[in-house]
Amino acid sequence: MSNPSIALETDLTHIFPDMIKSDERQGYEGYIVEPAQLVYFLTRLRDELGYDYLSSVTGVDYLPEGKMEVVYHLRKSTGGAPLVIKTQVARENPVVDSIVSVYPGAEFQEREAWDLLGIRFDKHPDLRRILMWEGFDGHPLRKDWREGYFEEDSKPFKSRWPDGHFKRSEQINPFGKNVDYPAGFDPETWIPEPETALYAGLDKMVRGVEETAIDTEQIIINLGLNIHPHTVYFEWRLR
Amino acid sequence: MAAKVDGETIVGLKPVMGYLHRNHEKIGERNTYLLNMPFTDRLDYFCSMSNNFGYALAVEKLMGIKPPERAEYIRVIMAELTRIVNHVSTIGFLLNDLGAYFTPILYAFEERELILDIFEAVSGSRMMCNYFRFGGVARDLPAGTLDKIRDLVFERLSRKIDELELYLTNNEILRHRSEGVGVLTPEQALAYSTTGPVLRASGVPYDLRRADPYGIYDRFDFDVAVRYHGDVYDRYLVRIDEIRQSIRILQQAVKDIPEGPIQEGKPQYQVRVPAGESYGRVEGPKGELGFYIVSTGKPNPWRYHVRAPSFINLTPLELMCIGQKVADVVVILGSIDIVLGETDR
Amino acid sequence: MTEGLNTPGYEIPPEMQGQVSITTLDRIYNWGRRSSIWPMMFGLACCAIEMICAATSRFDFSRFGMEIMRPSPRQADLMIVSGTVTKKMIPQIVRLYNQMPEPKYVLAMGACASGGGPFKEGYNVVSGVDEYVPVDVYVPGCPPTPQALLNGLIMLQKKIDTQSLKTVRWYSKTPDQALPIPVLGPDIMDPRQYALIKEYTQAKLEAQQAALQPPPEGEAAQ
């Protein structure tokens, strides 16, 4: 357990009175920032107050209040408890400024928030789905998203406890699998989108190519990774 | 990963993940708090005790309870044993990537098996221990286990690590292939939010056990292992250093462990967690493992997020691989020490 | 190992027992195949670590003939699916299964590969690899201890012992069909179920449109 006296030496609302306010909800800590001031505020925190290490970026879906919240945990590299900063946006079409320009480490975490919660990050260099595949229907971690085998919102399920009259999920779902498809979808006429975003991202990142004596071509290979680096097998995919 | 190569040199790299995305967070929102404990085992499946520790800390912070002394000591012993298990396996796998196919793994797994026997005696399972509870640990150490740990820690482990170092550290192939490969400067490491041995091998002496102590780590005397070049060889050396420091902590913990109860209050299935949020974090073997929990007072969490070190440590992968050859990419990836269960959750 | 090889009923004099063996074609064919099953290195998740432990010196499985774990499917006999099978990964698994040459076997190791395991309700988890690939042996456990995996492998060996050249799949007259590879659409789609999917989504669309229709005249008048 961290020592609260190391946590924050000063009350930040005194330094930035018009941008942030303290989080007053019961059991919560930290500060809530206006979404428009987010990047500016974090830049000043990093440069002036020494919070140079971003620990975590995560999103929370508050369905009853109609808000999406993005929570940042910042630390100083000299030590101490994390500082919690939050910003709140509306749940319909949530858009937040990306902080990749301030802390490059937020890149994958913001992509994950986009993928699972649907929070769009403005000016993110490469906002694509990271854990699910492109073309997946919906943002799974939202509170109103249900999967094929959905039974109840919280365990223990009434079908299991205390009486235990459960049915096998494969028998309830019409396909026998944990799947659900959108209405009116026709698998035979549907064309999958090509992975242009992935390769476009690769092209953008090409650094200076040095001239070598051997005449070499630029190709894209897929280093297919199994669970452990020691089971790498290569799948050559030429573009 | 999709890598763009010019001949053999990498000019662009994009990791593609999600092949083991097991919806830990969504399932976590449906589970009750205690039911989530075995799921945390399966995040970073090499170090199940550390994962349990982080989750137990997060919920205990919300509940406002602290475990008794003996439980704290047992937690530290298990966490440090887990660190040794993980680092020794990582060294084995790194050498597998470097080409010494399976032999170092066999040596590494010999130590791992002995420690897993201890885990099995204590919790009933070799890998997925599910041992920590909110307010302590699930059961006490059975008779004879402490002697086994003593024997390991005082007699066997240091000798075996010395032996492993004798074979590996000054090995010409290892040094030649890993020195100067995959360099990460300290500024880049901090900016890209890396944690754990990757950060410390780049010269930033940031260890959560010192920077933001949890449990009873402030009572133990140990050093933070740091190296300054930031390449693959340094990451290997940092891990060996950390094993030695873990042995040091274990020696102190095993000497000082008191008798007493191991759980605060009565063990219960339906824990009452007041509303609020908390961020519980441990210095796991791979980095900062954090659990962010939002509770609304109901038996199951409202939001349950895992700050996975392997996921975030992959962010500078492209930076480290540009300009290296294809064969080096495998080595660099092995040195970051990722576990896909944690990366994809 | 020649005890199982010899057909019972024939007496071999003791001085020739090490050199002569009387057997049937089925027996010797099965004996050769079950004593040298080469697994494919296919570790997905936590069970993979127990598989590696089963391969290391404490629970060695090379004494059963599974000496070499091949990374390439073209050279492997057995695919040990160890770990949770996710929808993103299943097209690759089916592709690899198709690339394995006959005779091939699949062993579903662990609760996740057998039936989804603890993650069954996950939106990205396939509840059991047998939804897409035929499985020969299931090894329960989470993760199964290396001893349990060895038990599963021995059971596979016993299963191979019961196969006969006359009825075996790869020598049959009909050519072997490759399994269709699932497609990653709005959700994973098995090409064998396309008709069912279309029916389901059409019914859903009609139900949605019916819900949007204004109520019939009689009710509105009331």
**Contact between B149 and B76 (Cβ < 8 Å):** no
A133–B18 C-beta distance less than 8 A: yes
Q: Which residues in chain B are contacts of A108 at CB distance < 8 A?
A: 311-312, 314-315
- Cβ of C201 within 8 Å of Cβ of A149? The answer is no
Task: Closest CB to A202: pick one of B12, B60, B314.
Answer: B12
Contact call for A219 and B4, based on CB within 8 A: yes
CA gap A27, A11 in Å, rounded: 18
Q: What is the pLDDT of residue A223?
A: 65
Can you list the residues of chain A whose pLDDT is less than 50?
A: 1-7, 207-208, 226-239
B66 Cα to chain A: minimum distance (Å) = 9
Q: What pLDDT is stored for residue A203 in this prediction? A: 62
A218-224: strand order across its sheet: A233-235, A218-224, B2-6, B9-14
Give the one of C43, C88, C189 whose C-beta lies nearest to A231's C-beta: C43
Mutation target vs A (from C44, C187, C204, C206; most A CBs, 10 A cutoff): C187
Average pLDDT, chain C: 83
Facing A183 at nearest CB: one of C71, C183, C204:
C204
C chain contacts of residue A190, beta-carbon cutoff 8 Å: 185
Which ipTM did the prediction report? 0.87
- The reported pTM is 0.88
Q: Which residues of C touch B51 (CB under 8 A)?
A: none
Contact flag B193-A55 (C-beta cutoff 8 Å): yes
Cβ proximity of B111 and B157 under 8 Å: yes
**pLDDT tens-digit readout, B121-138:** 998 888 888 888 888 888
Task: From B132, B156, B164, select the one nearest B55 (Cα to Cα).
Answer: B132
> What pLDDT score was predicted for residue A215?
65
Hey, are the CB atoms on A137 and C186 less than 8 Å from each other? Answer: yes
Residues of A in contact with B277 (CB under 8 A): 27-29, 84
Mean pLDDT (whole number) for B318-335: 85
For residues C18 and B31, the model is more confident at B31
What confidence category does residue B13 fall into, taking pLDDT thresholds of 50, 70 and 90? confident
* Phi, psi dihedrals of residue A37, rounded to the nearest 5°: -95, 5
Indicate yes or no: CB of C58 within 8 angstroms of CB of B110: yes
Residues of C in contact with A179 (CB under 8 A): 187-189
User: How far is C72 from C58, CA to CA, in rounded Å?
Assistant: 25
Evaluated on CA atoms A184, A186, A189, A192, the torsion sign reads positive
Contact C184 A133 (CB under 8 A): yes
User: CB C145 to CB B20 under 8 A?
Assistant: no
Give residue B240's pLDDT.
92
Taking contacts as CB-CB distances below 8 angstroms, the residues of chain A near C123 are 140, 147-148, 178
Q: In the prediction, which pLDDT does A196 show?
A: 65
Nearest to C125 among A178, A188, A226 (CB): A178
Q: How far is B65 from chain C (nearest CA, A)?
A: 29
Q: At B193, is the secondary structure helix, strand, or coil?
A: coil
pLDDT at position B61 over 50: yes
Q: Quick one: pLDDT at residue C45?
A: 85
Using an 8 Å Cβ cutoff, are A150 and A159 in contact?
no
Q: A136, A195, A225, A230: which to substitute to probe chain C, counting the most C Cβ within 10 Å?
A: A136
Among B127, B130, B330, B339, the residue to mutate for chain C (most C Cβ within 10 A): B127
As a whole number of angstroms, the distance between CA B249 and CA B210 comes to 13
Tell me, what's the pLDDT at C18?
A: 76
**Rounded mean pLDDT, C168-182:** 80
Contact (Cβ atoms closer than 8 angstroms) between residue A189 and residue C189: no
- The pLDDT, as a whole number, for residue A233 is 34
Instruction: Note the pLDDT tens digit of each residue in C111-155.
Output: 988 888 888 888 888 888 888 889 999 999 888 999 999 999 899
d(C-alpha B53, C-alpha B288), whole Å: 12
Contacts A–C by Cβ distance under 8 A: 110
Token couple for A185: 């979808």
Q: How many CB pairs under 8 A join A and B?
A: 197
Question: Could you tell me if B230 and B184 are in contact, meaning their C-beta atoms sit under 8 angstroms apart?
Answer: yes
Give the distance from residue A137's alpha carbon to the nearest chain C alpha carbon, in angstroms: 5
Q: Average pLDDT, whole number, for chain B?
A: 87
- Give the chain C residue whose CA is nearest to the CA of B25: C122
Cβ of residue B106 closer than 8 Å to a chain C Cβ: yes
pLDDT at position A5 is: 40
Asked whether the beta carbons of residue C118 and residue B38 sit closer than 8 angstroms, the reply is: yes
User: DSSP letters along B155-187, please?
Assistant: IIHHHHHHHHHHHHTT-HHHHHHHTTSS---HH
φ/ψ (deg, to 5) at A33:
-110, 145
Nearest CB to A212 within list B7, B312, B340: B7
| pLDDT per position as a tens digit, C30-69 | 888 888 888 887 788 888 888 888 888 888 888 888 877 7
Q: Do B19 and C86 touch (CB under 8 A)?
A: yes
* C127 contacts chain B (CB < 8 A): no
Q: What is the side-by-side strand order in the sheet with B276-284? A: B276-284, B287-295, B303-307
